Amino acid sequence: MKLKDKVCIVTGAARGIGEGIARRFVAEGARVAIADLDLGAASETAKRLTATGPGSAFGVAMNVTDEDAVNAGVAAVVAKWGGVDVLVSNAGIQIVDKIEDYAFKDWKKLLAIHLDGAFLTTKACIPHMYRQKSGSVILMGSVHSKEASPLKSAYVTAKHGLLGLARVISKEGAEHGVRANVICPGFVKTPLVEKQIPEQAKELGISEDEVVDRIMLGETVDKEFTTIEDVAEVALLFAAFPTNALTGQSLVVSHGWHMD
Ligand code: NAD
């Protein structure tokens, strides 16, 4: 088992990609905190994952934009399990609109969840990692950390920003044995993406099939969606890598949509 007894915090893990990463970690023996907005949903997911074993999970209420809530959530994990080995900052939303119509409050909300969330959870976890002289911080980027698409000004800005944050964490964390890396998935069919298909069709004046074929999968090598399991496998690589050699990096998992 690659993560036996490792303490992992995955934000936005009640469903979607975060849940898939938590599931993969539990399968490798980890103890995983399912941190999400709604404690009920987080606890339900934790119960399901614990039943699959051999690791275990528990739910933690955490709005990643709220510093007190982040600090309290991380403190609860440390009180229960004694430290933090892996942070996956995954919570995220999508809001699509043309720049001229993009509400400033939506811009601020999206940047807060992706960027403030990554910063606050890292800030709360890193002292525990420094104390034990090891840790892995994984930020959930996107192909949109490397590419731009119309209608996604805030998302593309936030996802590019995470690359910078991961590089700084790598430089500051190195002497403490802490690594930081970014996962950059292509389109994965989760509620976040299902919601965009009709929205983009309406904004761009095309059919939903065209949104999938042309906008979402048009640049892939095989017209396939990336899966939650694909992304979870990359998360496991970053979480379990044994040395500081793999730090400050971003890995694109997108069926060749973006090639570095
Ligand atoms: P999702 O909508 O299925 O799940 C997101 C989860 O985050 C939900 O459980 C939600 O409750 C939680 N969340 C939202 N706001 C939160 C907050 N303020 N505090 C705590 N939790 C919060 O989305 P997903 O598709 O699984 O996306 C997860 C991450 O992967 C996001 O960062 C997203 O940008 C990124 N991503 C997704 C895709 C994709 O195609 N689905 C592609 C690339 C990157």
3-state secondary structure 8-35: EEEECCCCHHHHHHHHHHHHCCCEEEEE
pLDDT for 149-179, tens place per residue? 999 999 999 999 999 999 999 999 999 999 9
Is the pLDDT assigned to residue 192 strictly greater than 90?
no
Coil, strand or helix at 257: coil
Q: What residues contact 238, with CB distance under 8 A and at least 6 apart?
A: 136, 138, 179, 181, 183, 246, 251
Half-sphere exposure in the Cβ direction for 243 (13 Å, CA): 1
Ligand 1 center to residue 88 CA distance, Å? 12
From the CA of 94, give the closest atom in ligand 1.
34
**Contact at 8 Å (CB) between 28 and 240?**
yes
In the chain, the domains with their CATH numbers are 7-186+227-253 (3.40.50.720), 189-225 (no CATH)
Q: Which residues are catalytic?
A: 155
Model-level pTM? 0.98
From the CA of 15, give the closest atom in ligand 1.
9
In this predicted structure, what is the pLDDT of residue 70? 98
Does residue 63 line the site of ligand 1, with CB under 6 A?
yes
pLDDT for 6-59, tens place per residue? 999 999 999 999 999 999 999 999 999 999 999 999 999 999 999 999 999 999
Residue nearest to atom 23 of ligand 1 (CA): 192
Q: Please give the torsion angle defined by the CA atoms of residues 161, 164, 118 and 110, in that order, rounded to the nearest 10 degrees.
A: 0
Residue nearest to atom 34 of ligand 1 (CA): 92
For residue 92, give the nearest of 142, 27, 49, 42 by alpha carbon: 142
Coil, strand or helix at 205: coil
